[in-house]
A and B are shown apart, each in its own frame.
Chain A
Amino acid sequence: MSQDKTVLLNIKNLIIEGYSDEKWVGIVHGVDLKLHRGEVMGLIGESGAGKSTIGLAAMGFTKDGCRIGEGSSIEFDGMELTTTPQSDLQSLRGSRIAYVAQSAAASFNPAHKLIDQHTEAPLQYRIQKRLESQEDAMELYEKLRLPNPREIGFRYPHQVSGGQLQRAMTAMAMACRPDLIIFDEPTTALDVTTQIEVLSAIRDIVDQFNTAAIYITHDLAVVAQMADVIKVLLKGNEVEEADTRTMLSNPQDDYTKSLWAVRDFKRDQKPRPTEGSPLISVKNVDASYGDTPVLHDVSFDIYEGMTVAVVGESGSGKSTVARCITGLLPPTKGECLFKGTPLPPDYRDRSKDQLRQAQMIYQMADTALNPKVKISEIIGRPAQFYSGLTGPALKNRVDELLDLIELEPAQYYNRYPPELSGGQKQRIGIARSLAAEPTFIICDEVTSALDQLVAEGILRLLDKLQNELNLSYMFITHDLATVRSIADEVVVMQYGKVVEQGPKDVMFKPPHHAYTDLLLSSVPEMDPDWLTTLLEERGVDDIGEAAKANKRD
């Protein structure tokens, strides 16, 4: 990458405060940041690290209810942004510093065509005439490999898919050829196969125009592909900064090391038991929401003590399978068997024991626990409901369960869910499902809302519990790293069908079904050359949505 060594953005001692509970509370506590022209810096950290706040501050912007604290200095190309009047700041935005938001779908105005929103800034700054600007937009669309670049701009945002919108937003950010672009988690909301085409498009265009960028994300593997320099943040403080290769090969700080280490957890794969019928078996299930068919002829088995991962992107029907097994969505065809006996399709027709045997753990611990009920009651209720425990026996059982999930009983017994952290809430969710003494637990994306370290703790806990209690898990996930670390068998789904299934070691080795292959190869790896290598191997036209369409049966 060509870089001249002039400093474009120089942030010194950045302090940002938010107003809550009648006082100003620090969000970012004195962070320094130096960015050269043409350089891409990755800001990485868990939620609450202040990365987005810093990104916005680089534009001289704070969200409502926040302010830049005294003693901070943000110098953009020799201009001190903290003392610049609002009107001058405003003329900087869009022309010299641009912003790409996480949710493109929400950040495009539904009332205007894409191209009209694209040309807004160039027209505002009188850089181009309307027609010129439109022509330029189409060129940018083409460079970003959007389909029908001459025509797509004349559509409304809701007529375009998520991955395409994200690229159109990148094009919009490029409209005035800014010196600096802030990318705020631009691919977080996308599927892996879509993510890869957005990543490659962003990387190419940033490279081509030699634009400096701040790339904000929580995904290490993504940042490894995009950034020249990585800065790690924790709770509004800088942990360390180094160029990408150094950072990946030789992290200095303990916190950074622990982030890197997450990917190491892996347990041994178990073989299927040689005898006996499967614990749960899904047989030729079709299902639909109203008139829209969602599942077609889905079949797979889950044996006792094993973990089966159901993998697929959004819309693949993986969560719908879970709804069929639990009886929330009675299948239109086929059936689910428990130890060889068919389960009634509707959960309302199932016996208490049948309900007890299959439990669920949810993705969002926030919505999975009633915020107005004490922990002791959340965990105690299933024990009371199924086993009829009361009084001291119930209390003992709850204590026992809290011990199992490694939370101190005396400390958590009388607390309410909103007082707990995300990881603790997820543990309570696990305890609630264990309280029913089930043999089978469905884990629906249980780690995807959690920060990596916490997620790993949860995976280890689930593994420990499986060994102690001989549980079977059905793991619904889109994250292949999770699959690698915990699954015994893998079921891959696409468009409501099972495309491939088998033991994990077989599934992670070629040859694959084409879609599995695409899915596997699209998951970013920590190697900074991964994206480059992949693009060389496959070519830019064989990734993302185009490839997905090719790989469809």
Chain B
Amino acid sequence: MNYFIIGFYALVIGASSLAAFYQKRTAFILLFSLTLVSFVMGIVGGEAMLWSVTILAGLIAFSAGVSYSFREFLVIILPNDMAKEMRTAPLTAGFGLFVIFTYAISGIFAPIIAPYGEAEVITSAFAPADENMLLGADQLGRDMFSRIIYGARNTVGLALLATILAFLMGATAGLYAASKGGKLDQLLGRIVDVIMSIPSLIFSLLLLSIFGTNTTTLIIVIAIIYAPRVYRLARSVGGNVVVMDYIEAAKLRGEGTWYLIRKEILPNSTAPLIAEFGLEFCFVFLLVAGLSFLGLGIQPPTADWGSMVRENATLISFGEITPLIPAGAIALLTVAVNFVVDWMLDRTSGLKE
């Protein structure tokens, strides 16, 4: 027993009692579960485990604070109607937006932010962190921090391009098929069924083994693999709109297919399509990261998070967290996008009621 452990339990128990006393049900349940978990953790893992719990709780509290202030910041700077949406947004969405914002900044201004070049060798392999290198050096003695910053540009940029391409192909074809119907619709449906019955990672491995792994092929291959998924969603969203009487009215007026898509179908499909864009980006991003991790994605010396994990993986067995940093960067962005998408989906489904 030392002061930390006593202080720790005093704090959680006191806080849960306070919450119970003031009838804050939600806060009480959360705090009390934390107390119970800490008892178990403390017995199993000892003081070290309690430290981890403290750090984790601190991290969550910190990100909650950041999300809250970022959300309030957005409420103030955004125009009126969007500000109203933001005010009711959950903290997770604020967190997601903040992370996306940060990534965008570091991606766009990478050369300014990063102290060294992405392929610049500055010291010996696996050199530990010092005042010059925030996160130490990688297996060739390049600055880890600079490479992470550049990775935001390379990895995210590539995933974004591939998603946009997949979206352009899939959404256009999907909405067109929905408005046209008939033979073309059925044919496209069949093709999509077949492509989607090959797991995406497997399919991309097959195609990459054939066409090689330069950036352009990578983007095109991924776009082709993901376009059918977008197609399916766009087709079903469009299909729900097409049965509306206003579409029939427009058809009977003699309007052309493109007018129908542009003026009648698209404005009524944007909300689910934007949410789908976010989801699709997550899938593509994870696939790109996975491929790079397998050594089949973005090729060295370009800084890329997936390959950075692979290159530094050996450090794990020495208890170093270095390879976890780029992996964590991937996870963080995906979580952020998913939080935002979750909020958007919740909002659109709420409107239907």
Give the B-binding residues of A (Cβ under 8 A).
22, 326-328, 347, 350, 352, 355, 359-360, 362, 364, 367-373, 381-382, 385-386, 432, 436
Contacts and interface: CB of A to CB of B under 8 A. Distances in A.
Interface in B136-195: none
B245 interface: yes
A385 B255 contact: yes
20 contacts: A22-B88, A327-B252, A328-B251, A347-B251, A347-B252, A355-B252, A355-B254, A360-B248, A360-B249, A360-B252, A362-B249, A367-B244, A368-B245, A370-B263, A370-B264, A370-B267, A372-B267, A373-B264, A386-B253, A432-B249
A373 B263 contact: yes
A373 B265 CA distance: 11
A476 to B, nearest CB: 14
Interface in B252-305: 252-255, 263-264, 267-268
Given A22-B88, A372-B267, A436-B253, 20 more contacts: A326-B252, A327-B252, A347-B251, A347-B252, A347-B254, A355-B252, A355-B253, A360-B249, A362-B245, A362-B249, A367-B245, A369-B246, A370-B244, A370-B246, A370-B263, A370-B267, A370-B268, A373-B263, A381-B253, A432-B249
A385 B254 contact: yes
Interface of B is mostly: helix
Contacts of B252: 326-328, 347, 355, 359-360
Nearest to B255: A385
Residue of A352, A381, A432 most packed against chain B (CB within 10 A): A381
Contacts of B246: 367-370
Contacts of B253: 355, 381-382, 385-386, 436
Interface residues of B, number: 15
Contacts of B255: 385
A429 to B, nearest CB: 8
B71 to A, nearest CB: 16
Contacts, number: 49
Given A22-B88, A352-B254, A436-B253, A372 B268 contact: yes
Contacts of A328: 248, 251-252
Residue of B244, B249, B268 most packed against chain A (CB within 10 A): B249
Contacts of A352: 254
A360 B251 CA distance: 12
A370 B262 CA distance: 13
Contacts of B88: 22
A219 B163 CA distance: 54
Contacts of A386: 253
A466 B246 CA distance: 23
Interface in B29-68: none
A22 B254 CA distance: 44
Given A352-B254, A367-B244, A373 B267 contact: yes
Nearest to A350: B254
A289 to B, nearest CB: 14
Nearest to B270: A372
Nearest to B88: A22
A370 B259 CA distance: 13
A359 B246 CA distance: 12
Contacts of A355: 252-254
A371 B245 contact: no
Contacts of A368: 244-246, 249
Interface string B69-91: 00000000000000000001000
9 smallest beta-carbon distances between A and B, as pairs = A372-B267, A368-B245, A362-B245, A370-B246, A367-B244, A367-B245, A355-B254, A352-B254, A370-B264
A367 B88 CA distance: 29
Contacts of A436: 253
Nearest to B264: A370
Nearest to A355: B254
Nearest to A365: B245
A175 B245 CA distance: 43
B28 to A, nearest CB: 22
Nearest to A382: B253
A359 B255 CA distance: 14
Nearest to B265: A370
Nearest to A432: B249
Contacts of B264: 370, 373
A290 to B, nearest CB: 13
A329 B213 CA distance: 52
A373 B259 CA distance: 13
A245 B249 CA distance: 46
Nearest to A351: B254
Nearest to A364: B245
A424 to B, nearest CB: 16
A546 B129 CA distance: 89
Contacts of A367: 244-246
A82 to B, nearest CB: 22
A371 B268 contact: yes
B85 to A, nearest CB: 12
A327 B246 CA distance: 16
A352 B253 CA distance: 8
A436 B253 CA distance: 9
Nearest to B350: A20
A350 B244 CA distance: 22
A372 B249 CA distance: 15
Nearest to A359: B252
A359 B254 CA distance: 12
